[in-house]
């Protein structure tokens, strides 16, 4: 069995995205201008992105026995992602979130994880045995850490390159960091993983070197300023792409999925990061409602 280029183990959420002139403050109610349902979850988004960028992709995850879950699974299959190991559970509802996007494209969100939190190490190990070896494995922080650790260890044992997008930010088990090959974080996530206070001034260059003491390859994404790549003792700055921002929602997931796809295709790390940086910029410049229509040819 040849296996898949990329296997993503992660979350699936049914997102409600609301447009508003700005983000509300405490005790404030704002009039919104538009809302729409969007299929999401960092795992789902990264799996779809990896498939969009040419990788044969499979997803491991869980949804509830509800309309949201049925829609999430059908969406994966429609986009060419194998959903054979996205299980439906009766004891929890599907994950969902509500995101508010302001006029500048910035956003805030609340997530209800639901069925995603029922994904166990045993389930992950069984799925990996059934799926066979992959070239690249990809995990995030929206499922239990035990599931992530089991996935990373199976990937390492099989020789797959494991990418860990440590988002949303939370403390990570040193055993998990030791089991992955590549760490992908933004500035805030980098500071939190390094055990530093999160303030207005974050020295990303220093943080990337600190994190590289634990994980061999570290990528710190910098939004419009691009990304820092630390590999083999050297740090390289990949400049940002200048685009008109429609929404930053989903940019990090596009970056991770594109990176996984290019590594699976055989790219070296630096050109893969440069490609992922351009891909994320194209996503940021595209309104969320129009992203489903994008094809590989739209990314040059």
| Annotation says 253 is catalytic | yes
The secondary structure of 216-268 as a DSSP string is SEEEEE-GGG-EEEEETTEEEEEPPP----S--TTHHHHHHHHHHHHHHTT--
CB within 8 Å of 207: residues ≥ 6 apart: 187, 190, 191, 194, 196, 220
Roughly what angle, to the nearest 10 degrees, separates helices 269-284 and 251-264? 150
228, β-bridge pairs? 220, 237
Q: Which of 5, 15, 19, 253 is catalytic?
A: 253
Q: How far apart are CA 195 and CA 214, in angstroms?
A: 13
The secondary structure of 34-74 as a DSSP string is EEEEEEE-HHHHHHHHHHHTT--EEEEEEEESSHHHHHHHH
Q: Any idea which residues carry the catalytic annotation?
A: 253
């Amino acid at each position: 069995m040849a296996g898949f280029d990329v296997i993503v183990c992660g979350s699936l959420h049914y997102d409600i995205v609301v447009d508003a002139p700005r983000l509300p403050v405490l005790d404030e109610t704002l009039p919104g201008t538009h809302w729409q349902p969007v299929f999401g979850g960092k795992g789902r988004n990264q799996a779809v992105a990896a498939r969009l960028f040419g990788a044969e992709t499979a997803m491991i995850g869980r949804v509830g026995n509800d309309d949201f879950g049925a829609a999430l699974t059908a969406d994966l299959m429609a986009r060419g992602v194998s959903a054979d190991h996205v299980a439906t559970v009766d004891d929890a509802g599907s994950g969902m979130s509500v995101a508010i996007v302001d006029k500048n494209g910035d956003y805030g969100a609340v997530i209800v994880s639901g069925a995603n939190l029922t994904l166990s190490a045993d389930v992950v190990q069984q799925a990996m045995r059934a799926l066979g070896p992959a070239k690249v494995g990809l995990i995030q922080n929206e499922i239990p850490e035990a599931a992530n650790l089991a996935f990373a260890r199976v990937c390492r044992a099989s020789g797959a390159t494991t990418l860990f997008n440590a988002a949303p930010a939370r403390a990570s088990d040193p055993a998990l960091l030791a089991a992955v090959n590549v760490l992908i974080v933004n500035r805030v996530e980098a500071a939190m993983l390094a055990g530093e206070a999160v303030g207005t001034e974050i020295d990303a260059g220093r943080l990337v070197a600190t994190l590289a003491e634990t994980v061999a390859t570290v990528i710190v994404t910098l939004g419009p300023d691009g990304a820092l790549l630390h590999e083999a003792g050297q740090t390289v700055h990949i400049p940002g792409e200048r685009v008109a921002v429609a929404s930053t929602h989903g940019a990090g997931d596009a970056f991770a999925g594109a990176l996984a796809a290019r590594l699976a295709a055989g790219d070296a790390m630096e050109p893969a990061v440069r490609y992922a940086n351009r891909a994320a910029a194209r996503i940021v410049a595209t309104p969320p409602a129009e992203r489903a229509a994008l094809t590989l040819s739209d990314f040059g």
